[in-house]
Copies of this chain bind each other. A is one copy, B any other.
Amino acid sequence: MKTAFRSAICATLAIFSRSSLNPTHHSHSPILFHRNRRAALFPAKPSLFTSMASSDAPLSPTIHVLEKQFEEFRHQLDDSGSLRDRIRSVSIEIESATRLMHSSLMLVHQSRPLPEVLEKATGQIDALRGLFSKLAEIMRECPGQYYRYHGDWRSETQAVVSVLAFMHYLETESLLLHAEAEEKLGLNPSEFGLDTEDYLTGICFMSNDLPRYVVNRVTAGDYDCPRKVLAFLTDLHAAFRMLNLRNDFLRKKFDGMKYDLRKVEEVHYDVKIRGLATDAESKGDGEKS
């Protein structure tokens, strides 16, 4: 059996010589350090392993190998645990910045002048940029683990995209592209990019704001808004239909976009049937015919 353990230990040590993409092994070098540092303390500290302590025999080799391995796991789990805590605290900041932006964008529904609506939100972009560079920095410590911790910033990032895309629509009446979103957030796709599905989900969230936007614009007397938003949303919906979405979260969100589209169509309908869109009409009809 001794041989069995020797080979085990060899195998264990063998690992330390190689660097590793696999996160569970990645943080080995520091851990190896811990291991050695602690190894010195071993005799000092009473063994956790009681069952055999009860016999007068010295600890069997098993115990040492076992203890070493779990010692190492402890450091790995502590490391990834604290990493996760750091990521979460950044995510929380991202979320509150986003909430700030969103609530100031909501002024658009009281048809405040656009510059005023966008001012506060725009002011937050630098903050977001800083927070995402923090995330990128943290991830730099554990290459290849973007998707290990992805869940910890996923929904926050989707909310960010939705806010940025809504701002972008107000400014340009066009869709914020994936690359533009990465640009705004100062993301370097080669090291920490914006996940495509997060981008797409964010865009779906954005579309949920459009029916309310159209209703309030019309209330404020802007009768051409529905036609424009309808054109935008129709194209967006068509673009999404190009994708083969699996039956997952994103698909559900996309299915929701259909209701936004329908609602905007109904507002457009109200405006048209009352002949309120007269000026737009000609333009609109032009487009329709």
Chain B nearest CB from A21 CB (Å) reads 6
Return the chain B residue nearest A267 by Cβ.
Answer: B269
Q: In the docked arrangement, what's the CA distance between A4 and B181, Å?
A: 12
Q: In the docked arrangement, what's the CA distance between A189 and B103, Å?
A: 32
B177 touches A21 (CB 8 A): no
B189 touches A269 (CB 8 A): no
In A200-233, the 8 Å CB interface with B consists of 200, 212, 215-216, 218-221, 230-232
Q: Inside 8 A of A220's CB, which chain B residues have their CB?
A: 288
Known A22-B191, A212-B262: A8·B177 in contact at CB below 8 Å: yes
* Contact pick for A266, options B57, B178, B215, CB 8 Å: B215
A66 touches B175 (CB 8 A): yes
* Contact pick for A144, options B5, B50, B62, B146, CB 8 Å: B146
What are 9 residue pairs bridging A and B, where the CB atoms are less than 8 Å apart in the complex?
A: A4-B180, A18-B190, A51-B235, A55-B286, A62-B174, A69-B177, A69-B178, A76-B196, A145-B147
A241 at the interface (CB under 8 A from B): yes
Complex copy number for this chain? 4
Interface residues on A, range: 35 or more
Chain B nearest CB from A243 CB (Å) reads 5
A153 at the interface (CB under 8 A from B): no
Binds B, one of A126-134, A159-167, A271-279: A271-279
Known A57-B288, A78-B244, A273-B276: A22·B190 in contact at CB below 8 Å: yes
* Contact pick for A193, options B25, B50, B52, CB 8 Å: B25
In A27-81, the 8 Å CB interface with B consists of 46, 48-52, 54-55, 57, 60, 62-63, 65-67, 69-71, 73-74, 76-78, 81
7 smallest A-B Cβ distances: which pairs? Answer: A11-B179, A22-B193, A147-B148, A51-B231, A51-B234, A144-B144, A24-B196
Q: In the docked arrangement, what's the CA distance between A238 and B273, Å?
A: 29
Output the residue of A60, A96, A179 with the most chain B CB within 10 A: A179
